[in-house]
Chains A and B, each alone.
Chain A
Amino acid sequence: MYSNRRRTLIALCALLLIVAAACGQKPGVGLGALPAGAAGENIVVDPETGALVNTETGEIFDPETGEVISTGSGGIIDSSGDTTSQDSGSGSTSGSETGGGSQDPGETEAEEGPEPSGGDATGVEGDVIKIGIHAPITGAAPVPSSAFEAGKDLYWNWLKENNVKINGRDVEVVFRNDNYNPSQAVAACKEMVEQEKVFMLFGLAGVDQIQACARYAASVGVPYLSAGVTEIGLSNLPSYFALWMSYAQQGPLLADLLVTKLGAGDEVNGMVRFNTPGFQDAHDAYISGMSDAGADVAYDRAVSKTAGQTDAQTIATELNQQGVENVYVLTSPVWFIQLLQAAQNQGYHPQWVGVGLSMGIDTVPNVACRNQNSIQDARFLNPFPAVVDVNKYDPDFTKAGGRTDTSNGSIELGLWGMSKVAHQLLLLPGDDLTRERFVYFAERAQGVKTGVFPDLNYAPDNHLGGDAMHLLRADCSQSRWITEQSFVSDF
C-alpha cells in the first residue's frame, strides 16, 4: 500500500517536472528578470540560444540579467551601459531601379556623408582580404559539402584568373561548419574572428545560426553579410547587411503571388512553419500580407524544428482534412521533402509556395520529383534564378566553372552572387579598408548589381537592401527549378 502511494507520488512529481519543462519552452517564461516594460506578449525566447527578443522593437535582452544588449533603434549597448547610436548619415540617396543587369564591379554608388578614416583593418593583410563563411555542412538541414567546397572560392578564383583585384587585393575564404546549431555557429564565428583574423563574416543559411553569429559579429564590430532571413534581432545590428529581401519582406510579395497570380483569394490557404522565434516576423508579415490582399489563412500550424516523418504525415493529414489548397512552407528542405512525400502518399496535391534560399536549391525538386513528382509546379521566391537558366543572367558563372548540371550548382550560384555583392561593397572604401569604413560605405551603397541577385540599395537606417526576388517553379520533367519570373517586386 505504502509502495503504491509512493509510486503515485513519484509519478505525479515526474509529471509536474514534465509540465515544468514544457513551461520553460513557452515564450515569455522567465521574463521576471527583465526591466519594467521589457516583459510582455512580444518577447520570445530562442529555445536554442536562450536569447530574449522583442519581436516588435527588435530589442535583444540578456536572458540572465534582463539587460538590453541591443536596442531596436539601431544602437548597441556598450559595456558601460551607454547606447552607441548608428551614424545616421546625411548623404543624398541616388535613384535606384529594380533590375538585374550585369554591371562591372565598382559602379556601385555610395551616398555622401561624414567619412570615417582609419579603424580596424584586421583581416586585411598586404594584398589579401580574409573573409569567413559559416554554413551547416552537418546537422538537421545541411548544405552538401561538395557544393560548398566548389562554390566558396569560385568567384574569387575567377577574379584571380582574370587578374581582377579589389583595390590591389585578392580575397581568401575561410570556412567553418556550424552544424545547424546556434551555439556552434557562434563558436565557429568566434574562431574565424579571433584565430583566423577574418575581416568580415558571411552567413549562408540557417536563421538561428545567422541570428546568433550576427549578434556576435555586432558585439565585436565585425561586418556580417547574410542571406535574407528574419529581421528579428538583425535589422538593428549596425554591422549586419542582408543580401536580399528578408522573410518578412517576402511575406507580402508571396501573398501578392498567391492572390494575384495563383488565384488564392477565394481558396483555402495555409501556412506551415518551424516553431522558432526567427520565423515569427515572416509569419506575421505573411498573415498580414494575405489579409491586405483580401485572402484568409485558414490553417496556421507551427511544428517543432526537430520534426520528423511522423510530424510530416500528421501535418499532411491535417492539411488534406481541412482542404487547404495553397500552403506556404517555411521549414527545412529535408522536412519539406518529407511533407511532400506524406502529402503525395495521400494523393493530396496543394499549391506549395514559399521563400528562398534553402528551398531554391535543386536538391529539393531533384529528390521530390523522384517521389512521384510530388513537388510539381511548386513556386518559391528565390534570390537567384534557377541555375539551369544562369547563362541568361550571368554567363561568367559557367565560364568560371560553376556547374549547372548538378543539384549542387544552385548552391554554387548562391555563393557566386554573395561573393559578387561582397566584391562591390569591398571596393567602396578604397585602399583604406577598415571595418568601420566598410560599414560606413556599405550602408550608403545604392544600386548594387550582380546580375544574379536583384539590386540592393542600403541606407544607414536600412541594412535590408533588397526589394525584388526571382520566382522559381518546380519542373519535374527536368527534376529541377526553372525561372518563371525574374527580378519581380510585385505580381
Chain B
Amino acid sequence: MRTAVVTAILFVIVAIVLAIGAGEQTGPNRFVVLGVVNGAVFGLMALGLVLVYKGTRVFNFMQGEFGTFGAYLLFIAIEDINMAYGFGIVFALAGVVVAGLMVERVIIRPLINSPRITVLVATIAIALLAVGIQILVFRIDPKALSPIMQTVDAAGVPQGLTVFELPIEPQRLIAVATLLSFGILLGWFFSRTDLGLAVLATSQDAFATRVVGIGVERMSRFIWGSAALLGGIAGLLYIPVAGALLPGVMSSNILIPAFTGAVIGGMTSLPGAFVGGVTIGLVQALSLWAAGHYFIGERALAEVIPGAEQLSILAVLLLVLLARPQGLLGTEA
C-alpha cells in the first residue's frame, strides 16, 4: 500500500513539473525524462546494495567496482580477444560473478561473525584495492566501450525513443527495462520463494537459521554472487553511454547517488531502491536544469552555488530521513 502511495506521489510531482514546463522551449520536460532514465541506472545499482543489506545488514561499498570490473572484462573480450558482443557480455558477467564469489569466500565469510562495521570497512578496502588493481593493469587511460546497440545510425540520426524531443538511447531503455525486471523478480524472490525467505532469515539471526538447517554460507554466497551480477549489469549498461571507461568510474559516478537512492527508498526495500534511484535521478537532473535556468542578479545559479545538484540530493536525503528515518518504503526486513 505504502509503495503505491509513494509511487503515486512521485508521479504527481513529475506530472506537476511536466505541466509547468509544457510549451516552454527551455523548460524542464526533457530533464524529467533525463532524470528517469539516469535514475534507472542508480536504481539498478541500488538494488544490488539493498540485496546485500537485506541479506547481511552490510553497506557494500564494493558494489560500484563490480560494475567497473565487468566493463573492463567486456572491453578485453571485444577489443583484445575479439569476441562477439553477446559472448563478451556473458564473459564479463561470468567474470564479475566469480569475482563476487571470491570476495565472499576470501574476505566476507571469514568475517561473517564479526561486527557489521568490520565488514563495512572490509568492503571499502576491497573497493580501494579493486581501483588500485585497475590502475595498475589498465592504467589511467580513458577507454571507449561500444554500447549494445549504436546510439545513432550511419546518417547520425539518434536511435531509440524520443520523448519531449529528447532522444533516449536504446542502451538506456534497456537499463530501464532491466531495472523493472529485476525489481519485480527480486520482489517475488524475497516474498514468494523459500530461498528468498531463507536469505531474510539469515540476515535476522544467522545462528537460529543454522539451527533450522539453512546453510548460512550458501546464503552468503548467493547474496554476493547476485549482488555482483547486478553491479556488473549496471556497469555494462551505464559505461558505454557515459563516454569513458576509467578505473573506479562506477564508484565515483554512480555509487554515491545509488547509495542515496537506496537510503531514501529504505535500505531494506527493493521497490524502495527503484523509487529512490529514480528520485535521485530526477532531483539531479532538475537541479542541474534549475542551476542553469535561474539567475541571481546576472549570474546563473550554477555559478553562485557550485555543485547545486549535490546539495539538492543532500537536502532531499535529509528531509526524507528527518521525516521518515527508515526511508520512504523501508521495513524491518
Contacts and interface: CB of A to CB of B under 8 A. Distances in A.
B322 A7 contact: yes
Which of A18, A305, A308, A322 counts the most chain B CB atoms within 10 A? A308
Contact of A302 (B281, B289, B300): B300
A371 B38 contact: no
Interface in B25-49: 25-26, 30-31, 34, 38
A338 B242 contact: yes
B177 interface: no
Contacts of B165: 321
Contacts of B13: none
B302 interface: yes
B104 interface: no
Interface stretch (A20-28, A88-96, A418-426): A20-28
B303 interface: yes
Contact of B30 (A137, A317, A334, A339): A317
Contact of B243 (A47, A138, A309, A315): A309
Contacts of B156: 347, 349
B304 A322 contact: no
Interface string A300-314: 111111101111111
Nearest to A347: B158
A370 B140 contact: no
Contacts of A322: 26
Contact of A345 (B26, B142, B151): B151
A137 B151 contact: no
Contacts of B151: 344-345, 372
Contacts of A308: 252-253
A309 B34 CA distance: 11
B309 interface: yes
Contacts of A346: 158, 166-167
Among B34, B243, B252, B285, the one with the most A-chain Cβ atoms within 10 Å of its Cβ is B243
B30 A25 contact: no
Contacts of A372: 150-152
A18 B305 CA distance: 11
Interface residues of B, number: 55
A282 B315 CA distance: 33
A338 B192 CA distance: 42
Contact of B285 (A7, A18, A314, A342): A314
A18 B142 contact: no
Interface stretch (A8-16, A240-248, A447-455): A8-16
Q: How large is the interface on A (under 10, 10 to 19, 20 to 34, 35 or more residues)?
A: 35 or more
A407 B31 contact: no
Nearest to B248: A138
Interface in A287-327: 300-306, 308-315, 317-318, 321-322
Contacts of B146: 370
B309 A311 contact: yes
A338 B238 CA distance: 12
A479 B169 CA distance: 24
A333 B244 CA distance: 10
A459 B116 CA distance: 64
A18 B306 contact: no
Contact of A301 (B31, B243, B292, B323): B292
A47 B242 contact: no
A367 B97 CA distance: 28
Given A137-B140, A142-B140, A372-B150, A347 B243 contact: no
A122 interface: no
B319 interface: yes
Interface in B122-148: 135, 139-144, 146
B294 to A, nearest CB: 13
A11 B307 contact: no
A26 B25 CA distance: 30
A334 B151 CA distance: 20
Contacts of A275: 302-303, 306
Interface string B237-265: 01001111010000011000000000000
Nearest to B37: A313
A18 B311 contact: yes
Given A18-B311, A144-B141, A302 B303 contact: yes
B26 A11 contact: no
B131 to A, nearest CB: 10
Contacts of A14: 315, 318-319, 322
Interface in A35-51: 47
A407 B144 CA distance: 13
A146 B139 contact: yes
A146 B302 CA distance: 36
Nearest to A139: B140
Given A310-B285, A317-B34, A11 B306 contact: no
A313 B34 contact: yes
Given A11-B319, A338-B242, A345 B158 contact: yes
B185 interface: no
Interface string A56-98: 0000000000000000000000000000000000000000000
Contact of B305 (A26, A347, A371): A26
A340 interface: yes
Contact of A341 (B38, B243, B305): B243
Contact of A371 (B167, B243, B253): B243
Interface in B252-310: 252-253, 281, 284-285, 288-289, 292, 300, 302-310
A309 B242 contact: yes
A192 interface: no
Contacts of A304: 302, 306-307, 309-310
B211 interface: no
B314 interface: yes
Contact of A22 (B34, B243, B288, B305): B305
Given A25-B307, A26-B305, A314-B34, 7 more contacts: A142-B140, A144-B141, A338-B243, A340-B243, A347-B157, A370-B146, A372-B152
10 contacts: A7-B323, A18-B314, A25-B305, A306-B307, A313-B285, A317-B166, A318-B289, A334-B246, A347-B158, A372-B152
Interface of B: 25-26, 30-31, 34, 38, 135, 139-144, 146, 150-152, 156-158, 165-167, 169, 238, 241-244, 246, 252-253, 281, 284-285, 288-289, 292, 300, 302-311, 314-315, 318-319, 322-323
Closest 4 CB pairs of A and B: A341-B243, A370-B144, A347-B158, A338-B243
Interface of A: 7, 10-11, 14-15, 18, 21-22, 25-26, 47, 137-138, 142, 144-146, 275, 300-306, 308-315, 317-318, 321-322, 333-334, 337-342, 344-347, 349, 363, 367-368, 370-372, 407
